[in-house]
Amino acid sequence: MDFESKIISREVNEMLWEREATVSTAESCTGGRIAEALIAVPGASKYFKGGIICYVDEVKENLLGVSHDLLQEQTAVCEDVARAMVAGACRRLNTTYAIAATGIAGPGGGTREIPVGTIWLACGTAESVRTLKLEEDNGRDQNLASATSHAMQMFRDFLKEEAAAHQEETAAEA
C-alpha cells in the first residue's frame, strides 16, 4: 500500500473511531481490496465488520438484495447496482456505512456499451449514497488499484462532509 493510501486509511480510521461507527464492504471487481485498505491500520476491528465479495449476480441478489430485474435491465456495472450494494451491505452486515465497487477491471469482459475500465464505486449509508464512475483502462492491476484508492478517498470525503453538515446543524440549533 502506498503512503497516500495509508494516510487516507488512517484518516478514515480516526473518523470512524470518533463516531463509534461501523463500515462494511460489498465488492465485485475489487475482490476485497477495499476491505484490505480499511484494515491497513491498527484498530480496524473496532469499526470494520466485514465484507461481501459478490463477483457474480447471484451473490449480489441473494446476499445483498440487489434486484434481479435491475441486474437484468442495467447489468451489474451501473450506478443503481452500486447504490443497491451499499444499502444491502449496510443492512446485511448491520453497519453504519458501506463501500461498494462493481465493474470490469479487464483485460477482457468489456463491451462497446461498457468497456474495460468501467467501474462504479459507491459509499454511504443505506439512505444516503455517493457514487463515482471510473472509465479509464490502464490494465487490470492499475484499474483495481485506482478503484480502491478512489473508493477510499470518496469515503473519507463523505465522512468529512457528513461531519461538517452535523456541525452546521449543531451550530444552527445553538
pLDDT recorded at residue 156: 98
pLDDT recorded at residue 165: 86
In sequence order, the β-bridge partners of residue 50 are 24
* Chain-centroid distance, C-alpha 26: 7
pLDDT recorded at residue 3: 77
Cα 151 to Cα 131: distance, rounded to the nearest angstrom: 9
pLDDT recorded at residue 15: 96
Mean pLDDT by 10 residues, the chain (174 residues): 84 95 98 96 95 97 98 98 98 98 96 96 97 97 97 98 84 76
pLDDT recorded at residue 83: 98
Q: Are 132 and 57 in contact (CB under 8 A)?
A: no
What is the pTM for the complete model shown? 0.95
pLDDT recorded at residue 4: 80
Cα 17 to Cα 26: distance, rounded to the nearest angstrom: 21
In 19-153, at which residue ranges do the beta strands (DSSP E only) sit?
Answer: 23-27, 48-53, 97-103, 119-124, 129-134
